[in-house]
Structure 1
Amino acid sequence: MMELQPSLPTTVHPDCVEFVRVVEELLLLRLHEAGQSRESVPFATREDSWGPRKWHRTELEDMVYSSYKRMRQGHITRPPRRAVVMEIADYFQCSLPERNRLLLAAHTFPVELYLTGPDLERVLGVAIETAQALPMPAMIINRDWRIHYFNTSLLHLYDLSPEQIAQLPASSVNLLQLLFDPTLPLYPNLMTNRESWEQMASQTIYGFKAANLLSIYEPWYQEVLNRLLLLPEFASHWQQIFPRKSVEEASISPTGITLETSVPRLGDPSRSLSLRPLLISTGYFHYTFPQIIGFLPISLEDQAIFEEIGLPYLTPTSGGQVVP
């Protein structure tokens, strides 16, 4: 954030001073940014359901927080509740650091920042050990949908070598890129069944949007999105998915999602394999990223294909107890 020193009225209650200071800084910053040329503003900041802003206090009060004027006058003695602060952050199109400044100034807990650097590498190490032990094809993705690891079974399924994966540009090793980029090696196999591909594409976009509702003004998000928007069909699918709505309203059923794919090792394009995606978190009641996506054969026929090409799979066992 730019170094801004807004003048604050002396009437603000001491418990609200820091919150008002951050709000005033954001108003000044957004007003300054609005003076820049439209071409210099990232895609995601131009596309906004709130519509255009004028970035002044009256607009903030009318659109989000009607008590802000009374807070500046000293009639409000505590910052707003967390849900209101989150709405104010949405109005300001806050990055995560800016959002957390608002939250901390309001004396509430911040949003957890995403893992990067050594912290990410440490958790990835645990996830990779888990994916290596799984008796199924699996990959590991991070919050930006970048794929960090393919286990041996997944490489075997698509007859790919580690060297082939290593030769791919880092920016292309992304789950959404694999689904939409016709130049990548998995794309022809995933397009075997158009209906299956449509389901996977829609659910994957939904997952990306839902996981990153607070990141749409982060530079990495804008970079990934702008790259994906260049791919065939991506823009039309992207515009149809609304993460704030229920999955049913988006015509997506996560429990019914299957992946139908051709298998290069079979040498017969007419034969395909149906897989059920399985999402695995390596944390204990901490459903964050990175995450493992495993793929299970759905039917006995699919299990037979696994056996034919030499892939392991989970074998169901009888018994157990359903708890009413």
Structure 2
Amino acid sequence: MMNIEPDASHTPDVLRDILEEIEVLRMKRQEEVRDRPHPFLKRFTQQELTDEACPTYKNLLVGRSQRIPSRQTLMQIADYLECSIESRNNLLLAARYLPESLELEGDALRLTLEQARQLMETFPYPAMLVTHTLAIEAINEPFQRLFAFPPLMALPRTQRYVLPVFFREDLPIRERSTFNDQAVKAWQAGVSRGIQLFKQSNRLYQFEPWYHELVKQFCAVADFRRYWERTPSLFDQHDVPSKLLLGRNATTEEWLPIQLQHIRISVCSHMYPCIMALRPLDDAARAVFASLSSAKGSPFNAVSRR
């Protein structure tokens, strides 16, 4: 994203606006922890902000420095102050930087989702359409056939998210993804990647109430919380395929271990919404996919809409 550097002649005004914005946010946070200690024992003092987020902050306050903080530094300050997306963008605007780009919404989102659904109907591979929260907006027929997945409309909207679907024992994905030790490792690595993708995609929203409510909802499913709280490197497996799965050959009715690769396809200038698909990596997977494509009829609809 392009940064707009303030003109030197306007530096004092810009610094004043930045410091005022930071101090309002800092004192608000300090007031919040006065009677209720912060989980990480933050005190939100000027010295602590200097130590944790901006080494030059106290120099800026007393006028020993006139250098406008970089965009990265302001983002570090916003993280330290646990800013909402609105407060974060107000801080960037005070520094005359462009605000963070938000997700598509309204008519733009609806149009993009509809175009993506039409594109996904042409895919030969199992695929789903997701938003930045990894909410599942649609799945295609190959996905439903491969996983014997129920029509999306059969699931309440609060349950149509990729992460809890990985864990739910009443759906077939987890059982068919953990059939031996190697498959368990691949599943764990996939779960870890999915959780990190969710966190990365929603980093700017991590202090929004809806984010905490959504994570709480995820953590109510099976043993999700245990994986959510683990260090990513524990499951950062480089010696396993993207996914191992037990797939049923519709022609021979034989169950086969198949290797698949996750691919992500952008459908607009934003990262989301996007299509997540599974590509076959071995002969067994290609045979299973071919048998599903040639199978006559399906009890499922090709695309599930809202």
TM-score tier after normalising by the smaller chain length: 0.7 to 0.9
Deviations 1:269-319 (A, max 9, x none): 843433222111113xx461111111122222222222223359xxxxxxx
Aligned mate of 2:153, from 147, 166, 174: 166
Measure how far apart 1:257 and its partner are: 1.3
Match of 2:8 in 1: none
Is this contact kept in 1: 2:248–2:288, CA < 8 A?
no
Deviations 1:171-205 (A, max 9, x none): 11111111112133543333334233222212212
CA distance in 1, matches of 2:156, 2:91: 38
Is this contact kept in 1: 2:50–2:57, CA < 8 A?
yes
Measure how far apart 1:159 and its partner are: 3.4
Relative to structure 1, the CA distance from residue 265 to residue 222 in structure 2 (aligned partners, 3 Å threshold; closer, same or farther) is farther
Measure how far apart 1:30 and its partner are: 0.9
Deviations 1:21-80 (A, max 9, x none): 211110122123224657xxxxxx84xxxx321122222223222333332334433431
Match of 2:201 in 1: 211
Relative to structure 1, the CA distance from residue 135 to residue 72 in structure 2 (aligned partners, 3 Å threshold; closer, same or farther) is same
Aligned mate of 1:288, from 271, 285, 294: 271
What TM-score do you get using the length of structure 1 for normalisation? 0.77
Is this contact kept in 2: 1:137–1:154, CA < 8 A?
yes
Match of 1:200 in 2: 190
Q: Is 2:291 aligned against 1:308? A: yes
Is this contact kept in 1: 2:250–2:292, CA < 8 A?
yes
Match of 1:316 in 2: none
Match of 2:21 in 1: 22
Aligned mate of 2:105, from 109, 113, 116: 116
CA distance in 2, matches of 1:66, 1:266: 66
Aligned residue type for 1:232: A
Aligned residue type for 1:199: A
Q: Is 2:229 aligned against 1:239? A: yes
Aligned residue type for 1:225: V
Measure how far apart 1:267 and its partner are: 9.3
CA distance in 2, matches of 1:116, 1:264: 40
CA distance in 1, matches of 2:231, 2:107: 34
Count residues in correspondence. Answer: 282
SS at 2:41's partner residue?
Answer: coil
Relative to structure 1, the CA distance from residue 220 to residue 20 in structure 2 (aligned partners, 3 Å threshold; closer, same or farther) is same
CA distance in 2, matches of 1:233, 1:99: 33
Which stretches of structure 1, 4 residues or longer, exceed 6 Å deviation after superposition?
Answer: none
Aligned mate of 2:96, from 107, 122, 126: 107
Aligned residue type for 2:13: P
CA distance in 2, matches of 1:191, 1:269: 18
Q: Is 2:216 aligned against 1:226? A: yes
Measure how far apart 1:218 and its partner are: 2.0
Relative to structure 1, the CA distance from residue 311 to residue 100 in structure 2 (aligned partners, 3 Å threshold; closer, same or farther) is farther
Structure 1 unmatched runs, 5+: 1-11, 39-44, 243-247, 313-324
Measure how far apart 1:268 and its partner are: 5.8
Aligned mate of 2:47, from 58, 68, 72: 58
Match of 1:42 in 2: none
What TM-score do you get using the length of structure 2 for normalisation? 0.81
Aligned residue type for 1:134: F
Structure 2 unmatched runs, 5+: 1-10, 296-306
